[in-house]
């Protein structure tokens, strides 16, 4: 399965006039790829993610999965947002169960329950399953959101700055858990993550898509991350190649800010 984006445009109308947020964007993501999307505020990162998710519609251009056009949300794609997006009146287990039940309606109750338990255990949430979101920490809320996304077994996982609101230690732990699960026996073939963090993009991604603000092209550069997997955090951050990629990305972002 490949994700193909061709000639994508998204124009918004407002009292200030027409805003051309995405401008002829072309991108192909192959199975087994983790792609990070980075750029300054207003460049269209979240808009792109919403279009792939089917939560918004392009003004022009196409998005296809395995040659089939994306026309709306579907169980082949799951999104994790920065603000957790959990149902506040439901327990953690019910938040995950509801998503699985709605997206996998051909599954029996036994299959749903087994799937929910698997992912809650994977993310260390099983003993907290009967708590409601307000009873757990921000890190546990986001673990639940990520567990919910994996539990529906999407082919494409879309992450919109999922760790931006977390402290450094919790963020690092969740990054490691995410990559371990994705690269293991998960059904998820493609990950596309929006981030503002240079270190996160270099550590996690196979390619980094650098986006530009209008009127520049939507994609100004795609940087290949040629660091071997699996990546041990302690070793990678001291690798000269890691530092070189950081510097390359920072230089490109500084150029974009000055443009």
Q: Given this model, what pLDDT does residue 100 score? A: 96
Q: Given this model, what pLDDT does residue 200 score? A: 94
Q: Given this model, what pLDDT does residue 42 score? A: 86
Q: Is the predicted pLDDT of residue 53 greater than 80, yes or no? A: yes
Q: What is the mean pLDDT of the chain?
A: 92
pLDDT, mean of residues 152-160: 95
Q: What one-character-per-residue DSSP string does the chain give?
A: --EEEEEEEEEEEETTEEEEEEEEEEEEE-TT-EEEEE--TTSSHHHHHHHHHTSS--SEEEEEETTEEP-S--TTEEEE-TT----TTS-HHHHHHHHHHHH-TTS-HHHHHHHHHHHHHHTT-GGGTTS-GGGS-HHHHHHHHHHHHHHT--SEEEEESTTTTS-HHHHHHHHHHHHHHHTTT-S--EEEEE-S-HHHHHHH-SEEEEE--TTS-SEEEEEE----SS--HHHHTT-HHHHHHHHHHHHHHHHHHH-
Residues of the chain with CATH 3.40.50.300: 1-76+156-259
pLDDT band at 15 (very low <50, low <70, confident <90, very high): low
Q: Is the predicted pLDDT of residue 14 greater than 70, yes or no? A: no
- 179-220 confidence digits (pLDDT tens): 989 988 789 999 999 999 999 999 999 999 999 988 888 999
Is CATH 3.90.1170.50 what the domain over 1-76+156-259 is classified as, yes or no?
no
Q: Given this model, what pLDDT does residue 193 score? A: 97
Q: Is the predicted pLDDT of residue 221 greater than 70, yes or no? A: yes
Q: Is the predicted pLDDT of residue 234 greater than 90, yes or no? A: no
pLDDT, mean of residues 65-86: 92
pLDDT band at 232 (very low <50, low <70, confident <90, very high): confident
pLDDT band at 163 (very low <50, low <70, confident <90, very high): confident
């Amino acid at each position: 399965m490949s994700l193909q984006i061709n000639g994508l445009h998204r124009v918004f109308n407002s009292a200030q006039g027409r805003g051309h947020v995405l401008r002829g964007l072309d991108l192909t993501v192959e199975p087994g790829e983790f792609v990070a999307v980075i750029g300054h505020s207003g460049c269209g990162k979240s808009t792109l993610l919403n279009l792939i998710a089917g939560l918004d519609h392009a003004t022009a251009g196409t998005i296809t999965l395995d040659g089939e056009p994306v026309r709306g949300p579907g169980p082949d794609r799951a999104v994790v947002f920065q603000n957790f997006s959990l149902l506040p009146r439901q327990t953690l287990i019910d938040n995950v169960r509801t998503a699985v039940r709605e997206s996998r309606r051909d599954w029996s109750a036994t299959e749903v329950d087994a799937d929910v338990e698997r992912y809650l255990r994977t993310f260390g949430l099983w003993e907290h399953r009967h708590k409601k979101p307000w009873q757990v920490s921000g890190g546990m809320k986001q673990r639940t959101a990520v567990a919910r996304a994996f539990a529906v077994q999407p082919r494409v996982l879309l992450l919109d700055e999922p760790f931006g609101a977390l402290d450094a230690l919790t963020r690092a732990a969740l990054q490691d858990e995410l990559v371990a699960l994705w690269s293991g026996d998960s059904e998820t073939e493609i990950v596309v993550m929006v981030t503002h963090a240079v270190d996160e993009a270099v550590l996690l991604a196979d390619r980094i898509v650098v986006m530009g603000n209008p009127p520049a092209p939507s994609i100004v550069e795609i940087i290949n991350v040629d660091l071997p997997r699996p990546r041990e955090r302690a070793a990678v951050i001291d690798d000269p190649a890691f530092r070189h990629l950081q510097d390359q990305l920072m230089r490109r972002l500084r150029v974009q800010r000055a443009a």
